[in-house]
């Protein structure tokens, strides 16, 4: 058999997988969820879920990938022919997410351009963001730039492209996050924000806190869409699996935590402690933050670094999405990587056009009340991903048995959390997934 190219070291694998996990979800979604759902108590719940439920799902996917050495479709088919539909379902998720993720990546490119050209003040104009995403050509050009950059890295391959880029970008990301968080804490009034972010506020704790933390964790770790299966298939057989998963989790959680440290205190300082400024949901990053940067001394540099950081995070996530699609096609049809990359790039651009125009000329089109982009987001995150995780947990927990995963983990090291893993994959994951599914369908969160 032809030798499959892969990551050259454990560090390379960990950084690439962490690059996939660390994305817009960490930087923009985590801080506002934490602020909304009780600060410290949300952090605590998130942490407990990460080391149990998140851990079990991630190690399962990576073990499936490494054991079979295949991309998603072929991997599930190899485990059990009756479950090949699961491979198809899981593969559909990145195909749906990738185009619209690039649309958002394009918005980040735009804002980076704004700060790089010293026009940060312009971005504070009322409706600047909505006017931009409501236009046609601008967002499409930015989308094309983001998509092109992503494709370039994937085209270079796993070791020469993905691993190299991750090894450079991820440490830089940590440095930038620590630096900006420290600066943010020195602003007048920031301490109050820090306390609000970290101190547990039990009055805001409810079952919603747990459901929100669960949903966030799941998305943040790039689970249930074949990404970790694909990256697992490129992992070296001799590298310690459990340790690697722990490293990826720490990386992902650390960046999420640090993002809160840069955003929450800065917003507090800007708004004089008005918490409503944080509750802006999705527009926090593109509307509130430019105002915050504009009010700060050196805010334009801060803004520039911030959007560069967001771009790096978004790029490494998009790369993992595209690689997953490319590996599926390559496994199935055996075309060359370059050809596939160009094909996927063009196809994804075309599919992304409606999502991009959905805020402008196509804004009259809504599906179940959602804009086109939000609809894709809802279908993939709230419905398909929990379904994939649920069926995966059933397959591993009850059909092939958790030993399937444990054997793979133990082939390259100790599996310290084996007992915990078995219980979680059999019982906890299915229950959690059902709760997420039901609450999404009921519009609970
Ligand atoms: N894990 C990424 C984040 O936290 C999101 C993501 C989802 C990335 C799907 C790739 C694929 O933002």
CATH no. for residue 57? 1.10.4160.10
Nearest to 86 by CA among 74, 97, 94, 95: 74
Task: Give the span between the Cα atoms of 93 and 388, in whole angstroms.
Answer: 9
Show Cβ contacts of residue 306 under 8 Å, excluding neighbours closer than 6 positions: 180, 262, 289, 293
| Interval 252-272: pLDDT, tens | 999 999 999 988 888 888 888
Rounded Cα distance, 359 and 375, in Å: 12
For 33, the token pair is 């969820």
Q: How do residues 285-310 score in pLDDT, each as one tens digit?
A: 888 888 888 888 888 898 999 999 99
Domain span including residue 82: 10-441
Residue 423 falls inside a structural domain: yes
In a domain, 3, yes or no: no
d(CA 168, CA 185): 27
Structural domain contains residue 60? yes
Question: Is a pLDDT exceeding 90 seen at residue 142?
Answer: yes
Q: Is the CB of 17 under 6 A from ligand 1?
A: no
pLDDT at 30 over 70: yes
Mark out the alpha helices in 235-369 (DSSP H runs).
Answer: 241-271, 288-295, 299-333, 337-357
1 inside domain: no
Is 321 near ligand 1, meaning CB less than 6 Å away? yes
Arithmetic mean of pLDDT, 160-170: 90
Residue 402, in any domain of the structure: yes
Q: How far is the CA of 52 from the centre of ligand 1 (A)?
A: 19
334, HSE (Cβ side, Cα atoms, 13 Å): 1
What is the CA(2)–ligand 1 centre distance, in A? Answer: 31
Residue 4 lies in a domain: no
pLDDT at 419 over 90: yes
Output the residue whose Cα is nearest ligand 1's atom 7.
222
Task: Indicate if the pLDDT at residue 2 is higher than 70.
Answer: no
Residue 5 within any structural domain of the chain: no
Assess if residue 389 is contained within a domain: yes
Our mutation pick for probing the ligand 1 site, out of 27, 100, 219, 382, counting the most ligand atoms within 8 A of Cβ, is 219
370 forms bridges with which residues in the sheet?
367
Collapsing DSSP to helix, strand or coil, 39 comes out as strand
Residue matched to tokens 């402690």: 273
Closest protein CA for atom 9 of ligand 1:
222
What Å distances lie between residue 363 and 139, 142, 281, CA to CA?
A: 14, 19, 20
Considering its fold, how many domains does the chain have in total? 1
Contact between residue 391 and residue 86 where contact means Cβ atoms under 8 Å apart = yes
pLDDT (tens digit, 9 = 90+) per residue, 392-408?
A: 999 999 999 999 999 99
CA of 189 to the centre of ligand 1 (A): 32
Instruction: Work out the mean pLDDT of the chain and round it to a whole number.
Output: 90
Q: Could you read off the pLDDT of 322-343 as tens digits, one per residue?
A: 999 999 999 888 888 999 999 9
Ligand 1 contact, 317 CB (< 6 A): yes
Query: Is 314:105 a contact under the CB 8 Å cutoff?
Result: yes
């Amino acid at each position: 058999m032809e030798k499959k190219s892969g990551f050259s070291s454990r560090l390379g694998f960990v950084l690439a997988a962490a690059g996939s996990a660390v994305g817009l979800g960490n930087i923009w979604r985590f801080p506002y969820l934490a602020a909304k759902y009780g600060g410290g108590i949300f952090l605590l719940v998130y942490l407990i879920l990460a080391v149990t439920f998140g851990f079990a799902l991630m190690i399962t996917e990576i073990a499936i990938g490494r054991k079979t050495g295949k991309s998603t479709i072929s991997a599930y088919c190899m485990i059990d022919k009756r479950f090949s539909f699961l491979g198809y379902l899981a593969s559909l998720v990145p195909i749906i997410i990738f185009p619209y993720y690039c649309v958002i990546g394009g918005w980040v490119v735009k804002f980076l351009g704004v700060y790089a050209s010293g026009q940060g003040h312009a971005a504070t104009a009322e409706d600047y963001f909505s006017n931009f995403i409501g236009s046609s050509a601008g967002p499409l050009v930015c989308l094309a730039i983001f998509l092109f950059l992503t494709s370039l890295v994937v085209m270079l391959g796993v070791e020469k492209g993905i691993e190299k880029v991750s090894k450079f970008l991820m440490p830089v990301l940590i440095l930038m996050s620590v630096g900006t968080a420290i600066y943010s804490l020195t602003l007048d009034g920031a301490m109050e924000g820090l306390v609000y972010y970290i101190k547990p506020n039990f009055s805001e704790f409810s079952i919603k806190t747990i459901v929100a933390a669960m949903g966030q964790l799941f998305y943040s770790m790039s689970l249930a869409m074949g990404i970790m299966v694909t990256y697992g298939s490129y992992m070296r057989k001799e590298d310690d699996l459990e340790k690697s998963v722990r490293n990826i989790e720490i990386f992902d959680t650390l960046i999420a935590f640090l993002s809160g440290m840069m955003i929450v205190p800065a917003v507090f300082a800007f708004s004089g402690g008005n918490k409503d400024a944080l509750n802006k949901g999705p527009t926090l990053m593109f509307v509130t933050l430019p105002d915050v940067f504009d009010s700060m001394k050196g805010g334009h540099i801060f803004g520039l670094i911030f959007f560069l950081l967001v771009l790096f995070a978004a790029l490494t996530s998009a790369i993992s999405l595209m690689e997953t699609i490319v590996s599926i096609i390559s496994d199935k049809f055996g075309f060359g990587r370059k050809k596939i990359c160009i094909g996927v790039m063009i196809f994804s651009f075309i599919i992304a056009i409606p999502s991009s125009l959905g805020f402008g000329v196509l804004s009259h089109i809504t599906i179940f009340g959602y804009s086109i982009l939000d609809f894709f987001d809802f279908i993939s995150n709230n419905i398909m991903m929990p379904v994939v995780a649920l069926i995966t947990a059933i397959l591993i927990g009850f059909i092939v048995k958790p030993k399937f995963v444990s054997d793979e983990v133990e082939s390259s090291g100790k599996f310290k959390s084996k007992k915990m893993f078995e219980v979680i994959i059999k019982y906890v994951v299915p229950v959690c997934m059902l709760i997420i599914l039901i609450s999404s369908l009921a519009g609970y969160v």
